[in-house]
Amino acid sequence: MTRKDDSPPAARPGRTVVRRELRRVARAFADELLSTLDDLGVFDPEAKIPARAKRVRRSDHNLDELSVRIIALMNHYGEALAISDIAAGLELSKRDIAHPIAQLVAAEKLVQIGERRGVRYVLPTKGPRKAAVGPRRSRHKKPRAKAPAAKKATARKPTARKPSARKPSSRGASSKKRRR
């Protein structure tokens, strides 16, 4: 693009200047919007910001009741369920049921299968044999391959190499490493 006049190009503002100007414009817009909404009577002058609810310590009775609900849900579905599935079935959050599930696993009323994000819970099998959990393996790691059998040393035949048609590079090997 060519300029009609020969004046030097204008200096572009820096990032800090632009950020400061955007904040000023946003603040002015927010103030104007709030005053308009206030004039229209949208806000209740007596309204207070609701306080965040404190965590309530649950009694043993509440935990036992929740444990019974979890076991009933597991009986209903009869398959391995993730903690998110159990929470959705009980219409609770995962945080609300994490402790009761840990207690059920410790009491061997539930069996944990898998690790980390892949954890599923099942009811233990009835009868003399407990639920087979097996060794804990991550689904993401591949099993190690067996070491290859030792090969017998054989004499290699020398191969005739043709001389390279390319000119030797003036760059050394170190320049190839830098280009990566």
**What are the pLDDT digits (tens) for 31-67?**
999 888 888 888 776 777 777 667 778 888 888 999 9
Task: Report the alpha-carbon distance of residue 40 to residue 48 in Å, rounded.
Answer: 19
Query: What is the pLDDT, as a whole number, of residue 113?
Result: 93
* Strand, coil or helix: 120: strand
Task: Report the alpha-carbon distance of residue 82 to residue 155 in Å, rounded.
Answer: 59
The fold adopted by the segment(s) 60-122 is Arc Repressor Mutant, subunit A (1.10.10)
> Which segments within 28-145 are labelled E, that is strand?
111-113, 120-122
Query: What is the pLDDT, as a whole number, of residue 125?
Result: 83
Q: What average pLDDT does the segment 153-162 reach?
A: 65
DSSP the chain: ---SS-PPPPPPPPHHHHHHHHHHHHHHHHHHHHHHHHHTT-S-TT--PPPPPPPPPPPHHHHHHHHHHHHHHHHHH-S-B-HHHHHHHHT--HHHHHHHHHHHHHTTSSEEES-GGG-EEEPPPSSSSPP-------SSSPPPPPPPPPPPP-PPPPPPPPPP-SPPPSS-HHHHHHT-
Distance of CA 5 to the CA centre of its chain: 56
Whether pLDDT at 129 is above 50: no
Query: What is the pLDDT, as a whole number, of residue 103?
Result: 92
Query: What is the pLDDT, as a whole number, of residue 20?
Result: 92
Whether pLDDT at 3 is above 60: no
Residue 43 token pair:
């806000």
Query: What is the pLDDT, as a whole number, of residue 68?
Result: 93
pLDDT in tens, 7-20: 677 778 888 889 99
Whether pLDDT at 4 is above 60: yes
Q: What average pLDDT does the segment 144-151 reach?
A: 62
Average pLDDT, the chain: 77
Query: What is the pLDDT, as a whole number, of residue 66?
Result: 92
